[in-house]
Amino acid sequence: MVELLSVAQAVDLVLGYAGHFGTEQVPLAEASGRILQQTISAERAQPPYDRVMMDGIAYRYGTGSVLECRGVQRAGVPGQELAEGAVCLDVMTGAVLPQGADTVVPVERLLRNGKQVQFEEGYTPEKGQFIHRKGSDCAAGHELLSRGLRLNGPALAVLAGNGHATVEVAARPSIGIIATGDELVDVDASVRDWEIRRSNEYALTGALVSRGFTCLERSVVPDDLARTILALEKQLARHDVLVLSGGVSMGQFDHVPKALMKLGVERVFHKVAQRPGKPLWFGVGPEGQRVFGLPGNPVSATCCATRYVIPMLLAGQGVVRPETYSVQLAAQASRVPTLTRYLPVRVTHDESGRAMAMPHPMSTSGDFSFLAATDGFVELAPGEGLAPAGSHAVFHGW
Ligand SMILES: Nc1nc2c(c(=O)[nH]1)N[C@H]1C(S)=C(S)[C@@H](COP(=O)(O)OP(=O)(O)OC[C@H]3O[C@@H](n4cnc5c(N)ncnc54)[C@H](O)[C@@H]3O)O[C@H]1N2
Ligand code: MOO
């Protein structure tokens, strides 16, 4: 018997074909969730001037606690010069610290009598207080954001704060999601006793869209070799990546591998030592299209998309932060002697903050009715017996 490819080998092969989907320039307001493809450095020192941090007065430390107010330093105008002696200027948060001043006292600590300003009884300021010093956050040219970062709110603020009206991000690959199977009907069609509604394409759409892969097209092919070839030929011409579900095992109508081969899609592997998802097929088209043939059973298709399709797409965008993390099993779970087991779990945190994964095994890989009650799956290495409660496992989120 030929030994099956391990999950690690299969993942390595898939990632080896990740390549790069290219880059594009997008307006800042449309960049949320996209993957940064340039290095962003500080345009200027931050802050760019000695910035007043409190509404109050600015004065020269040591000139007394009763001061004459000589005017107002507001934000958005150049810094004024503070005269010599026991004087001060009213200052606003965000203003440039007046030249000659070195300390700010908040209004709450002041008593006013016309132009005369006095510190409240018993108040002693600290020299230099409430001043955000020029360059104290970073120097001009300091690297602030690096390639591969998913742009979130704080990252967009850094881009805006450093003058980037547009930003170079990873291009989104065009992805064709293709369902196969004569028993499948549309979500809004009437369904007969021997039919089922198509759902895998929506599971896939959810997984892809939530990670920012929005260039999707869904289509269906029947269990007929000639029509499968025709349909896949069209889809190969239109997309960078094809994700098929169904038609990859041993049935007389499982035409997907044959059709793909006829179209010059080179098989990289078929079948992996995993449960669910053993019949997974992966290949590369004549133009470098990455083609996944996911097993049709809904849990298998969802697990394989999470374990292979998403990591490959993220790698092709140069994402650097891994999406997986380590958890501890909240209850024992059986391993499969020769196969990696993907076990659906719900993750919670215990009182000490540890991520605990409660197994929710599905009765079969066709049973997806309760998959939505889980957060993802843990991967249990092949082995005899039980993985004990408390043991560590890698978690992959849906
Ligand atoms: N003799 C063997 N039979 C099977 C094997 C095997 O090794 N030897 N492997 C089993 C395993 S494991 C799996 S997984 C399935 C995979 O089969 P296919 O990829 O060919 O998928 P289909 O037969 O087309 O469908 C399987 C199952 O999933 C349902 N399905 C398919 N597409 C969708 C969809 N878009 N939405 C919802 N449900 C879908 C389909 O109705 C079937 O019930 O093969 C085993 N057989
Ligand atoms: O291993 Mo298949 O992917 O379970 O039904």
pLDDT tens string for the chain (398 positions)?
668 999 999 999 999 999 999 999 999 999 999 999 999 999 999 999 999 999 999 999 999 999 999 999 999 999 999 999 999 999 999 999 999 999 999 999 999 999 999 999 999 999 999 999 999 999 999 999 999 999 999 999 999 999 999 999 999 999 999 999 888 998 998 989 998 999 999 999 999 999 999 999 999 998 899 999 999 999 999 999 999 999 887 777 788 899 999 999 999 999 999 999 999 999 999 999 999 999 999 999 999 999 999 999 999 999 977 889 999 999 999 999 999 999 999 999 999 999 999 999 888 888 888 899 999 999 999 999 999 999 999 999 99
Which residue shows structure tokens 């107010």? Answer: 69
Distance, CA 259 to ligand 1 centroid (Å)? 17
Q: What pLDDT does 363 receive?
A: 84
Q: What is the predicted ipTM? A: 0.96
Determine which residue's CA is closest to atom 4 belonging to ligand 2: 276
> Model confidence over 267-289: pLDDT tens digits?
999 999 999 999 999 999 999 99
Distance, CA 292 to ligand 1 centroid (Å)? 15
Distance between CA 260 and CA 221 in Å, rounded? 13
**pTM: predicted TM-score of the whole model, two decimal places:** 0.91
Q: Return the ligand 2 atom nearest residue 366 CA.
A: 5
Distance, CA 275 to ligand 1 centroid (Å)? 13
Question: For the chain, how big is the Rg over CA atoms in Å?
Answer: 31
Distance, CA 174 to ligand 1 centroid (Å)? 26
DSSP 3-state of 180:
strand
Q: Return the ligand 2 atom nearest residue 275 CA.
A: 1
The separation between CA 147 and the C-alpha centre of its own chain, rounded to angstroms, equals 13
Distance between CA 9 and CA 11 in Å, rounded? 6
CA-based torsion, 231, 236, 240, 245: positive or negative: positive
Q: Return the ligand 1 atom nearest residue 271 CA.
A: 7
Distance between CA 228 and CA 260 in Å, rounded? 9
Structure tokens at 376: 């993802």
DSSP 3-state of 241:
strand
Distance, CA 150 to ligand 1 centroid (Å)? 35
Is 307 near ligand 2, meaning CB less than 6 Å away?
A: no
Nearest bound ligand to CA 277? 2
Distance, CA 309 to ligand 2 centroid (Å)? 17
For the chain, domains (ranges, CATH) are 7-22+171-315 (3.40.980.10), 24-45+137-170 (3.90.105.10), 51-132 (2.170.190.11), 325-397 (2.40.340.10)
Q: Could you list the beta-strand ranges (E) of 6-154.
A: 23-27, 40-41, 51-52, 56-59, 66-73, 87-91, 103-106, 110-113, 116-119, 131-132, 143-145
DSSP 3-state of 359:
strand
Q: How far is CA 125 from CA 67, 69, 90, 109, in A?
A: 14, 17, 16, 9
Which residue shows structure tokens 């603020």? Answer: 157
Distance, CA 113 to ligand 1 centroid (Å)? 85
Count the residues in the chain.
398
Q: For residue 25, what are the contacts with CB-CB under 8 A and spacing of at least 6? A: 166, 167, 168, 169
Determine which residue's CA is closest to atom 1 belonging to ligand 2: 276
Structure tokens at 149: 């970062």
Distance, CA 241 to ligand 1 centroid (Å)? 21
Distance, CA 276 to ligand 1 centroid (Å)? 11
Mutate to test the pocket of ligand 2, among 200, 249, 275 (most ligand atoms within 8 A of CB): 275
Distance between CA 178 and CA 239 in Å, rounded? 12
Q: How far is CA 206 from CA 286, 312, 355, in A?
A: 28, 17, 24
Which residue shows structure tokens 């891994």? Answer: 322
Q: Does residue 98 have a cis bond before it (omega within 30 degrees)? A: no
Is 293 near ligand 2, meaning CB less than 6 Å away?
A: no
Distance between CA 330 and CA 347 in Å, rounded? 9
Distance, CA 160 to ligand 1 centroid (Å)? 49
Please list, residue by residue across 137-170, b when 16 or more beta carbons sit within 10 angstroms of its beta carbon and e when fewer do.
eeeeeeebbebebbbeeebbebbeeeebeebbbb
> Model confidence over 102-123: pLDDT tens digits?
999 999 999 999 999 999 999 9
Determine which residue's CA is closest to atom 13 belonging to ligand 1: 295
Mutate to test the pocket of ligand 2, among 7, 200, 245, 278 (most ligand atoms within 8 A of CB): 278
Structure tokens at 70: 């000589």
Distance between CA 89 and CA 97 in Å, rounded? 10
Which residue shows structure tokens 């039980």? Answer: 386
Q: What pLDDT does 1 receive?
A: 61
Determine which residue's CA is closest to atom 24 belonging to ligand 1: 246
| Contact residues of ligand 1, CB 6 A cut-off | 179-181, 183-184, 196, 198-201, 245-251, 254, 276, 278-279, 295-298, 300, 365-366
